[in-house]
Structure 1
Amino acid sequence: MANNYEKQYMTIVENILNNGYYDNNRTGVPTYKLPHQIIQVNLQKEFPILKTKQVAFKTATKEMLWIWQSQSNDVTLLQNQNVHIWDEWVDSNNTIGKAYGYQIAKYKQLDKLIETLKNNPQDRRMIVSLWNIEDLPDMQLQPCCYQTIWDVTDGRLNCMLVQRSGDIPLGVPFNTTQYAVLVHMIAQITELKVGQLTHVINNAHIYENQIDGMKEQVKRYNILNTYNHIKDDLSLLKNKELMSVFVSNPKLKLNTNITNFYDFTIDDIKLEDYENMGKISMKVSV
């Protein structure tokens, strides 16, 4: 069954395909785009990861740990884990310059966030920003997901993720999933429950060379919706592979013994019962 997250995501996809504004951008590959798209997920009820295509959960999580835990700009650390999503942006030292994790480390932003969540959870200034104007010229790629705003309400940790530019087919599913993991991790080590993840995308776009892939994903989503209409009689689901996708309910499992954010390893973070409809190959524009 398509979950609430997937419904919101696919609504944005179809809206861009049908109503997107066509224009050029710095990559040279035109996009169809819409401004100010929002996805809101109750992490108590679901873990946001797409079923209509495979999302590389471990790769997304490794990148998040590289930024938030290692707080590194050294792409070698990712390459050693067989993660090559940053290879196109490295400088002569195999770094991304003063971007992403560099900015978290520079001002000890994560440590300050955790301390505030533990000692003053009603603080309204819990913001982690990667958009440092002074250092922008020294970044290989200026951050897309550049800010998180944190809140605690009724013992639940909420996070607003603000993204200036979002590649809807490839980047955005990665980002929503990896920041959901981050919220779960920080909630655990601050003894809070997870709450709402709100993902705000200022420029939500689909590149022209991704259109066919997204149309395929829309077809898959329509198949899931058809299955949804007959969910009360699962005997009608003749395709066993599709049935496994339909009934799956992805759940994040963290090692509950971890009480220090920096002690998590990739092996402490697992996603259970994730079934999907397979890969859709699309290009990244750099």
Structure 2
Amino acid sequence: MEQYLTLCRHIMENGVEKGDRTGTGTKSVFGYQMRFDLAEGFPLLTTKKTAFRLVVSELLWFIKGDTNVKSLIEANNHIWDDWAFEKWVKSDDYTGPDMTDFGRRAANDPVFKAIVDEQMEIFCSKIVENAQFAADFGDLGPVYGRQWRSWPAKNGETIDQLQKVIEQLKTNPDSRRHIITAWNPAEVDDMALPPCHAFMQFYVANGKLSCQLYQRSADVFLGVPFNIASYALLTHLIAKECDLEVGEFVHTLGDAHLYANHMEQVETQLARTPRSLPTLSLSNEKESIFDYEIEDISIEGYDPLPGIKAPIAV
């Protein structure tokens, strides 16, 4: 994954300091592209451990068209919790300790972090145990899964972009219209987080399927390793259903940034030497991308260096 480390170095050396929505501050570059030959191994970062199980459960959540954190929490995946939690603590229903700016405050105050963790545990329990609470506070609005599987059409019906692209790949692989977009201007303001990985296009040549992703905003330390693995996995899953080999994953970034409170972690990672890439294993019993469960997807030969913790900017 030297491509990823090169991106980190590029931002450290050439990025400009910018403010941002979270108030954390970033070092940023605009317009960057990485290419990964998926035949050379599965692009899961080895210079720090990346939780592949979380990548899988999140992608399957998108594929199923789900937008509520309930199923993610039940799968012990908490990467979207903060946005749903924020919805709860800003509501009139919340009566606990003040959670204003909880992300940054917790990162700098261990005592406050313990309070946040306690409230987060209460929140997750309520989401799983109380259907009405999950409906009120677990739904993130029309985020990725809604746009991929149920894009609202002007006639009142919906468009299943993912299913349509798969059908097109099978029947007209040379088309230049194999496109899925998550950026819906009519609904973006209703989303807990507007889509960062916003637009993808698939391409078939020499019996191989490639995918190019345009990502408008890229949290390079925390988010991008997940994004690379997620869309590489999506490419593998679609290729398998369409009886194609895998080609490249091309990752095009708009605003690629490192948060100011991730700089030490990036330096630690850049001092490490990458290890061999793992391989992906998919169940042969599944014929459709829509049939996969977490246990049907695994990684083999993954020997990463230890994980590096960093706070998330909400």
Quote the residue 1:101 is aligned against: 145
Whole-angstrom CA distance in 2 between matches of 1:257 and 1:60: 21
Quote the residue 1:86 is aligned against: 80
Quote the residue 1:52 is aligned against: 47
Number of residue-to-residue matches in the alignment: 256
Quote the residue 2:91 is aligned against: none
Matching residue's letter, 2:311: K
Q: Aligned to 2:175, which of 107, 123, 144?
A: 123
Once the two structures are TM-superposed, the CA of residue 44 in structure 1 deviates from its matched residue by: 1.2
SS in 1 for 2:40: coil
| Two-structure CA RMSD over aligned residues (Å) | 1.1
Quote the residue 2:292 is aligned against: 264
Quote the residue 1:26 is aligned against: 21
Matching residue's letter, 2:8: V
SS in 2 for 1:262: helix
Alignment of 1:190-201 (within 5 A): 190-201=242-253
SS in 2 for 1:150: strand
Once the two structures are TM-superposed, the CA of residue 93 in structure 1 deviates from its matched residue by: 3.1
**Higher relative contact order at CA 8 Å, sep ≥6: structure 1 or structure 2?**
2
Quote the residue 1:188 is aligned against: 240
Alignment of 1:159-170 (within 5 A): 159-170=211-222
Matching residue's letter, 2:248: Q
Deviations 1:101-147 (A, max 9, x none): 01112120111011101111111111000101111111111000011
Alignment of 1:187-226 (within 5 A): 187-221=239-273, 224=274
Once the two structures are TM-superposed, the CA of residue 283 in structure 1 deviates from its matched residue by: 1.1
The sequence identity of aligned pairs, in percent, is 37
Q: Aligned to 2:166, which of 114, 119, 124?
A: 114
Once the two structures are TM-superposed, the CA of residue 88 in structure 1 deviates from its matched residue by: 1.4
Whole-angstrom CA distance in 2 between matches of 1:160 and 1:101: 19
1:254 equivalent to 2:249? Answer no
Whole-angstrom CA distance in 2 between matches of 1:220 and 1:8: 14
Matching residue's letter, 2:272: R
Quote the residue 2:195 is aligned against: 143
Once the two structures are TM-superposed, the CA of residue 188 in structure 1 deviates from its matched residue by: 0.4
Check the 8 A contact 2:279/2:300 in 1, yes or no: yes
Whole-angstrom CA distance in 2 between matches of 1:188 and 1:74: 28
Q: Aligned to 1:15, which of 3, 10, 15?
A: 10
Runs of 4+ in structure 1 off by over 2 angstroms are none
SS in 2 for 1:22: strand
Unmatched 5+ residue regions in structure 1? 1-5, 225-245
1:280 equivalent to 2:275? Answer no
Once the two structures are TM-superposed, the CA of residue 80 in structure 1 deviates from its matched residue by: 0.5
Matching residue's letter, 1:262: F
Whole-angstrom CA distance in 2 between matches of 1:147 and 1:20: 24
Check the 8 A contact 2:67/2:145 in 1, yes or no: yes
Whole-angstrom CA distance in 1 between matches of 2:7 and 2:162: 31
Whole-angstrom CA distance in 1 between matches of 2:291 and 2:142: 25
SS in 1 for 2:227: helix
TM-score scaled to structure 1, two decimals? 0.87
Whole-angstrom CA distance in 2 between matches of 1:196 and 1:256: 22
Matching residue's letter, 1:28: G
Whole-angstrom CA distance in 2 between matches of 1:260 and 1:7: 33
